[in-house]
Amino acid sequence: MRTRCLTILGLLAVACGAHAQSAPSGKSLAATIDVYVFPNNGQNASTQSKDEGECYNWAVMNTGSDPFDLQKTQSQQAQQTQSQVAQAQSSAKGAGGRGFVGGAATGALIGEIANDDAGQGAAWGAALGAMHSRRKAEAQSQQAAASAQQSGTQKQAATAEQITNFKKAMSVCLESKKYMVKY
């Protein structure tokens, strides 16, 4: 029985040691969101941790924002913007071929009417049609990419503002509990 207890205690000690090594660098809840807190009234670590948790919840309720959710949203918005930009750029790639075909048909018709040389007219029409279509598609692609980029930037700015407002709310709560706070 005694051996079994010692074995269990040994396993617990090893498990606790492994857990301590895998834990984060000892950052508090506030520090993980870049809010730095110093106890002005000599509050101990457990009191500070409890106060930070209460103020975090208070700030979530009063701002309607949770910074951990907002950070995920920012990441998703950035990925969505990159996807939209890539999609806009790839849509221009097939435009030259479509213009080539349309231009060839138009050039053949004009060549036949103008100087009875449909082949030469088709060649000129194809070349001009491809160039025109590609330029038009590239302009549209650049405009769509710029629009997606601007939209993404606006969304990220709004999210950053929500995070700042959350930090302000949490700071007000912590300051009321006699902590010095900087973010």
SS (H, E, C) the chain: CHHHHHHHHHHHHHHHHHHHHHCCCCCCHHHHCCCEEEECCCCCHHHHHHHHHHHHHHHHHHHCCCHHHHHHHHHHHHHHHHHHHHHHHHHCCCHHHHHHHHHHHHHHHHHHHHHCCHHHHHHHHHHHHHHHHHHHHHHHHHHHHHHHHHHHHHHHHHHHHHHHHHHHHHHHHHHHCCEEEEC
- Quickly state the pLDDT bin for 1 (edges 50, 70, 90): very low
pLDDT at 76: 73
Domain parsing of the chain, residue ranges: 27-182
Over the stretch 99-157, which tens digit does the pLDDT of each residue have? 555 555 555 545 555 565 556 655 666 666 666 666 776 777 677 767 767 777 887 88
Average pLDDT, the chain: 72
Region 68-85: mean pLDDT is 74
Whether 170 has a pLDDT exceeding 60, the answer reads yes
Mean pLDDT score, 84-104: 58
Reported pTM? 0.54
Most confident of 64-68, 71-75, 102-106, 118-122: 64-68
Over residues 8-33, the pLDDT tens digits come to 333 333 333 333 332 345 789 999 99
